[in-house]
Amino acid sequence: MVNPVSNATKAAPVQSSSAVARQQAPNAVATDTVQISAAAKVLQESVETSVQTSQEARSGDPQAQRLLAKEEAAQSPTK
């Protein structure tokens, strides 16, 4: 025989983990990290202006220093 249930309690709603995260850190700032592939780095260096290269060489960038030395050697007249 079936007896009616009279003292059933209502279950609390389940929150998703993203909803819980938003409640715990409402002032958090989202940050993204970008990693550039090697090919993209080469492309970026190839479109760099001579002014940028000079600035980087003065700040100690060895790649920029080699590039400037190579360009100066190509411009100087050979005897």
Per-residue pLDDT of 61-72, as tens digits, reads: 999 999 999 989
Chain centroid offset of residue 50 CA: 26
The closest alpha carbon to 64, from 44, 50, 74, belongs to: 50
Q: Is 68 a domain residue?
A: yes
**The pLDDT of residue 25 is above 60:** no
Q: What percent of the chain has pLDDT over 70?
A: 62
Q: Is 30 a domain residue?
A: no
Please tell me the distance from the alpha carbon of residue 22 to that of residue 27, in angstroms, as a whole number: 9
pTM for the whole structure: 0.43
Tally of domains in the chain: 1
Over residues 26-59, the pLDDT tens digits come to 566 788 888 888 888 888 878 888 889 899 999 9
- Please tell me the number of Cα atoms within 13 Å of 73 on its side-chain side: 6
Domain of residue 65 covers 49-79
